[in-house]
Amino acid sequence: MTATMTKFRYEAESPDGQSIKGTIEAASANVARNQLAVNGYRVTKISERKGINVEITKSKVPPVAIMHFSRQMSTFLRAGVPVLEALNNVRVDTENARFAAILADVIERVAAGSTVAEAIARHADIFPPYYMAMLRSSEYTGRMDEAFGVLYTYLRRDIELSRQVRKALIYPLILLTVAILVSGMIVVFVIPKFAKFFKDFDAELPLPTRMLIAIADFVQSWAGLITGIVLVSGLISLIAYVRTPKGRYQLHATMLRTPALSKVIIYSATERFSRVLGALLDAGVSLSDALPSATDCTNNLVFQARLATATEGVLAGRGFTEPMREVDLFPSTMLQMVRVGERTGELSDQLTNSATFFEEELSYAVDKLTQYFEPMVLLFIGVVVGFVALAMVSAMYGLYGQLQA
């Protein structure tokens, strides 16, 4: 018969003499005390945790929280702080409620005898596969501080690049949104008043003005309302479809075929794949275990599908470079680097070099994307504003001419 597991609150003294608090799950208080003692902790107080257990909520854990966790763990472990105490220190300083609850669960499992990688693996919805793979490898080598340091570096760079992309696109998107809103307000509120004004004078209107009034009339008619409903429904359906696996795959494939955007996607996927795979190989993870984790980091289903096929080729003994070439997405520079690395036995170093190179190339590609996108938005705004101005001014001049006559 399986014993019922109970959660206990405890206060203990760590191996280096510091006081810590936490919770642990065990069959009894004595078992919990023994589990902590095995890890070098002298229990000063332990009691059963009363009340309703609060489930870990499904609120989002931002990548920044995981980045800070990685940096703090690396710092504490390098300073010689025991793992359990380091985890508890980080948990106390964590502001995100869900992540704090997750760390509390990790602490309980580590205190009960699990490894850090095993405890973190229980939260695979938060920590990506490469994170667990890196920690599992570090537990064999005894260099967990270095593993957390590498993970921090990767996450920091990834977050910085994501911010750069968002920052580059936010200004054109704001301009486009404002242009659409202003155009809508002009069509709905301004044009009808001008139309009534011109109608009262029974003026003959020029073509641009008649077109603008026709657009305003259509927008405010039942036909316009029905068209708007159809368009909104279509947009909602498209968003719902994109959330399906097939829809996401088609979206990712379309992005890879879009000028300017395709380079950003390819360089981003190449940088992530190279950096994670290089770091995992350097940490001692086997190529067969490292490839799936690195593939998952590309964040593009087309890349992932083709890399899954390439991985089969690698595991079949066809080497590394040739299967990667058959992916038919990686830039030639990356393939040349890994070919040299495969030939010289320095594959992890060349993958790291590839990541550094394409990190810079990605920055240039993002700048070019902005240069490509911003003029298109400004052109759209210019056409809309110019058309409205032409329609209004030409009508006013026409009316003035008729009154003079």
CATH number at residue 112: 1.20.81.30
* Count of structural domains within the chain: 3
For residues 96 and 177, state if they share a domain.
Answer: no
Residue 43: inside a domain, yes or no? yes
Closest CA to 288 of 155, 395, 133: 133
What is the average per-residue pLDDT within 362-386?
83
pLDDT digits (tens, 9 = 90+) for 269-308: 999 899 889 988 988 888 888 898 888 888 899 999 999 9
CB 134 within 8 A of CB 279: yes
- Cα–Cα distance, 35 to 43 (Å, whole number): 10
Residue 54: inside a domain, yes or no? no
For residues 135 and 171, state if they share a domain.
Answer: no
Residue 57: inside a domain, yes or no? no
Task: Report the 3 state secondary structure along 45-72.
Answer: EEEECCCCCCCCCCCCCCHHHHHHHHHH
Query: Alpha carbon 403 to chain centroid distance?
Result: 63
For residues 80 and 43, state if they share a domain.
Answer: no
Residue 23: inside a domain, yes or no? yes
Q: Is the pLDDT of residue 3 over 50?
A: no
Q: Is the pLDDT of residue 403 over 90?
A: no
Tokens of 380: 């759209």
pLDDT digits (tens, 9 = 90+) for 127-185: 887 888 888 888 777 888 988 998 898 899 888 888 887 877 787 788 888 888 887 88
Which residue type does 216 have?
A: A
pLDDT at 5: 55
CATH number at residue 39: 3.10.20
Q: Is the pLDDT of residue 216 over 80?
A: yes
- Which residues span the domain enclosing 385? 165-405
Which carries the bigger pLDDT value, residue 337 or residue 59? 337
For residues 226 and 115, state if they share a domain.
Answer: no
Burial 358-369 (b: 16+ CB within 10 A, else e): bbebbbebbeeb
Neighbours of 186 (CB within 10 A): 17
Residue 160: inside a domain, yes or no? no
Q: Which of 17-21, 104-108, 306-310, 367-371 has the lowest mean pLDDT?
A: 17-21
Cβ neighbours for 340, distance < 8 A, ≥ 6 positions apart: 346, 350
pLDDT digits (tens, 9 = 90+) for 198-211: 777 776 788 888 88
For residues 44 and 72, state if they share a domain.
Answer: no
Q: Which of 12-26, 48-62, 95-109, 285-299 has the lowest mean pLDDT?
A: 48-62
Residue 19: inside a domain, yes or no? yes
Residue 302: inside a domain, yes or no? yes
For residues 189 and 143, state if they share a domain.
Answer: no
Q: Could you give the dihedral angle defined by the CA atoms of residues 97, 99, 103 and 105, in that order, rounded to the nearest 10 degrees?
A: 80
Cβ neighbours for 136, distance < 8 A, ≥ 6 positions apart: 115, 117, 285
Tokens of 207: 């073509």
Tokens of 100: 């704090």
For residues 174 and 232, state if they share a domain.
Answer: yes
For residues 280 and 373, state if they share a domain.
Answer: yes
For residues 99 and 188, state if they share a domain.
Answer: no
CB 22 within 8 A of CB 88: yes
pLDDT digits (tens, 9 = 90+) for 14-42: 666 767 777 776 666 776 776 677 666 78
